[in-house]
Amino acid sequence: MIIAADFPKVYPTPEVEEFTLAPARVEGEAAAKKLQERSRSRNAVHVLVGAGLLPEGTRLRLTARHGAPESIRNAIHAWVEEDISRATATWTNNTAKPLIWEADGASYSPTGLANHIFTSVTRRTADGIQGTTWWDVDTDHVPADVDPEEWSTLAGVDLSGLARQLYGIRKDWTGLHTLLSTVPAGRWTTYGDVAAVIGSHAVPVGTHLATCGQCPNPWRVLNAAGRVSDGFQWPDRTRTETPADVLAGEGVLFNGDAADPETRLPRDDLPQLFDGREDLRSAAL
């Protein structure tokens, strides 16, 4: 008696295929994810440097986030408490390695430093960390030429979040100068309102005004509370009057050190000062 059997071709089985291909697939996906996170960090740094948001010497504080589970975040926190210098870095406008770590004085990219800290604590290689989420602006330390009230608006936002707010912004002050030349005597505006119209942020606008020797009518720009910025200075250092003195001479009343809000130009009125010119945001870019 002859017994015949017919076996359908089922090789490779789904299980075998998954077993043989899955590791390579997972490895490829992990590599792609790591590359993507590094690219995001590099892009965030370029955005921040391009927008001029953070002056040289800005202090940053460490808060481990992306790529570190809670147990490792707790371990990093305990490690930092052993040496508080590990929690601080200083910003420089270097697109490659903008952070100088206080613990060793060396320069790092945000992700490079986050990886270094992760490995120092865990003795393992980090996987896919987006380092720009690990560093917050230390708003307790206000850089020179920056208004403290405007600086305080950066509290609680990491470098990645700041970059998202500033995406597409460049340090081109042509539009700012044009706008300031149209602000009439007896009226004032704010750093935030000007920044919103030209597509910038209050901090770099204020920093520019504090160091620019050609900005028209800089005394007509105040902080959000209607006060003269602590960082204001005259290009002509021989001038002894204050911006408040000049504004008062133009008819702006003050209640203490705050300008009368009735003489503040509404934000919506600022673009109309251009008398039909193109949208200021387009002109500034």
User: What are the pLDDT digits (tens) for 201-234?
Assistant: 888 898 888 888 889 999 999 999 999 998 888 8
Whether residues 204 and 155 share a domain: the answer is no
Instruction: Specify if 205 maps to a domain.
Output: yes
Q: 271: domain CATH number?
A: 1.10.10.10
* C-alpha span between 191 and 210 (Å, rounded): 12
pTM, two decimal places: 0.70
| Residue pLDDT, tens place only, 147-189 | 888 899 899 999 999 998 887 666 778 888 999 999 999 999 9
* Same-domain pairing of 220 and 129: no
Among 113, 148, 166, give the residue marking a domain's end: 166
Domain of residue 279, residue span: 174-284
How confident is the prediction along the chain (285 residues), in pLDDT tens digits per residue? 555 555 454 444 545 544 455 554 444 444 444 444 444 556 899 999 988 889 999 999 999 999 999 999 999 999 999 999 999 999 999 999 999 999 999 999 999 999 999 999 999 998 889 999 999 999 999 988 888 888 998 999 999 999 988 876 667 788 889 999 999 999 999 999 999 888 888 888 988 888 888 899 999 999 999 999 988 888 888 889 999 999 999 999 999 999 999 999 998 898 887 554 444 444 444
On whether the CB atoms of residues 124 and 142 are closer than 8 A, the answer is: no
Say if residue 108 is in the same domain as residue 131. Answer: yes
* Cα angle value 57/84/99 (rounded, 5°): 30
Residue 28 structure tokens: 């490829």
CA distance 66 to 73: 10
Nearest to 232 by CA among 276, 188, 170, 274: 188
Provide the b/e sequence for 182-199 (b: ≥16 CB within 10 Å).
bbeeebbbbbbbbbbbbb
How many structural domains are present in the chain?
2
C-beta of residue 216 within 8 angstroms of C-beta of residue 222? no
CA distances from residue 146 to 43, 54, 56 in whole angstroms, order as listed: 25, 10, 12
Q: What torsion do the CA atoms of 5, 6, 7, 8 make, to the nearest 10 degrees?
A: -170
15 within domain boundaries: no
- Secondary structure of the chain in HEC code, one letter for each residue: CCCCCCCCCCCCCHHHHHHHHHHHHHHHHHHHHHHHHHHHHHHHHHHHHHHCCCCCCCEEEECCCCCCCHHHHHHHHHHHHHCHHHHEEEECCCCCCCEEECCCCCEECHHHHHHHHHHHHHCCCCCCCCHHHCEEECCCCCCCCCCHHHHHHHCCCEHHHHHHHHCCCCCCCHHHHHHHHHCCCCCEEEHHHHHHHHCCCHHHHHHHHHHCCCCCCHHHEECCCCCCCCCCCCCCCCCCCCHHHHHHHCCCCEECCEECHHHECCHHHCHHHHCCCCCHHHHHC
How large is the C-alpha radius of gyration of the chain?
A: 27
Residues 226 and 205 in one domain: yes
For residues 76 and 157, membership in a common domain is answered with: yes
